[in-house]
Structure 1
Amino acid sequence: MPNHLLEALPPEDRARLLARCERVPLAAAQVLYEPGDVIAHVHFPTTAFVSLVSTADGHDGLQAGMVGNEGALGYELSLNAQHAPLRTLVQGAGLAWRLSAQSFEQELAESAALRRVLHRYVCVLLAEFARSGLCHRFHQIEQRLARWLLTTQDCAHSAQLALTHEALGRMLGVRRVGITHAAMALHTRSLIDYRRGVITITDRQGLENAACDCYRANRRSYSDLIGQG
């Protein structure tokens, strides 16, 4: 499965970058970076997907975003930032292309297309992070759960999602009882099935209708920016 940011590069630039990459497995629950860590590698996920978690004051944290094969981890290096601002926690095991920070900097110097794609991707993430704050403040838990399930399905490329209550808690920033009520509401509407820690999306269109507009707005942002030449 390709990484869409790499696919957006001209063939010559993409081939040169991939020649410097290695294909690595990412394990579920693996932490790539904690806030403040020096970024040693850039990852372009292909089949893995990773939660971006905001942490403060020793709390478990709140999921601010998710990165699958549409994005990259370590993108901060494209802005000359050397330290990770968020915890990067592997949510779904899989593969990624990995590039050392030094090689990435060389690629940035050689490829204007890579710089352009990464800068646009940062703009997409900034918009998503801004919407995430508003979403947690103003939208109902059921709407937010529908949004995150859709986002997770997009990253996992599967209707069956292995999601624990802890993971759902990070997504929604609510306690277990709130997650249970929201999941039951979606189940009652025959949008999802939930058994033994596995959520199955049974009505994708219905779930999109149940989600807040943040989901559609995020998809529009990505399409508008990353698809440009």
Structure 2
Amino acid sequence: MKRHTRPYGCTWPNCAKKFGSRNDWKRHESGQHYLVEMWKCGRARPTDGGTCLRRPFLAKEQMIRHLKGPEHQMTTAHEIEQECENFHLAREGHVHFWCGFCKTLIAQPEDTMNAWENRFKHIGDHFDHEKRDIDDWVCVEENKAKKLITPQDEKESRRKAKTGYRNDVGDEDELEEWSPDMGNGDSITAIGSFGDLKSFSSRSMMNITEQHDPDAHGESDVEMYTS
């Protein structure tokens, strides 16, 4: 029996597209979005022991300044460098990637050859095995679950993207704390507003249309809605 549901949702905050098959979802995110490099502090706050709730930084210099600042007061260069590495999200999901269902940063294997596919595997398994709803995906860049994102939030994200949001060292917008709506504040996602460029060239779509994904379920939307 054909499935006429679309359980696979785009994880970018300003994109509401849903798909009937895992491969269609992967093809969409690979062709329409990409993950930018950033750093997110996950150190414990000295005041109450909770996880640091500062927003992600798009420059390493900002992360270093934050670690040296009054909130953490780190002084040892080696320790600061190590923390920058621990909370580093490289381009395209290398090193770490964010899972909005786990609400935490997921480390990539050091010898991985396909970080982007590892990300799809992890998130796709949430859809398939746990039947997670994309509306519950926590978008760190908006500080809330997708179902709570308003048109005004989307408009503001587009405005910030056009003006180089949080791209300059010293931008105080970097120091805003997350809202309680985002979840437990364990880590970070890529900034969706910066990740909405058409087909990131270095990835070359990973030949998704030619690859067989043993974890893929559901029919292609083309089959579902044209047959």
After TM superposition, the score normalised by the length of structure 1 is: 0.22
Higher helix share: 1
Structure with higher strand content = 1
Higher relative contact order (CA 8 A, sep 6+): 2
Q: When the two structures are superposed, what TM-score results if normalisation uses the length of structure 2?
A: 0.22
